[in-house]
Amino acid sequence: MISEKKSIAESIVEFYKDKENVLKLVFVILNSINIVILTDTVYCVPISIVLLYLYFKLSSTDYKEKKALFLTIITFTLGTLFGEMVVITTKKALTYTKPDIYNVPSWLLPVYMTMVMNIILTVNFYKKV
């Protein structure tokens, strides 16, 4: 646990001394750049998958932890995609310009992956503070 007497800056520095936290942050940053630059291309989703694969290859966490993270990403991504699809289809509350998966654009998949990784990173940080 990070000492209460440390400043927030010291806590952040200590948190990112852990390789796993750095890997998650790098994934979030690179995938965010990928989303911003390549949203309207066919490369956005494949690059996100490659980034996720590289994260898992470089991560030194055990298989059980990797499996839990992977299943969390899949569950959140598919659940959110399905939920958004239902709302868009039934309520017509939102429209996308290039929907390719039942009224929802595929570029949202990398967005959801990034959200999950960012949430896990944030939860891990606050567990240490």
CA 28 to chain centroid: 6
Report yes or no on 1 lying in a domain. no
34 within a domain of the structure (yes/no): yes
**21 lies in some domain:** yes
Closest by Cα among 120, 105, 123 to 35: 105
Is 111 among the domain residues? yes
Residues spanned by the domain of 82: 8-128
The residue type found at 82 is F
Render pLDDT for 28-80 as a digit per residue (tens, 0 to 9).
999 999 999 999 899 999 999 999 999 999 999 999 999 999 999 999 999 99
pTM: 0.87
Q: Total domain count for the chain? A: 1
Helix axes 108-128, 19-38, angle to 10 degrees: 150
40 within some domain: yes
Please indicate, yes or no, if residue 75 is contained in any of the structural domains: yes
Location of structure tokens 């998966």: 101
Contact 129, 50 (CB under 8 A): no
**pLDDT band per the 50, 70, 90 thresholds, residue 97:** confident
Residue 91 lies in a domain: yes
Q: What are phi and psi of 22, to 5 degrees?
A: -65, -45
Q: Is residue 3 part of a domain?
A: no
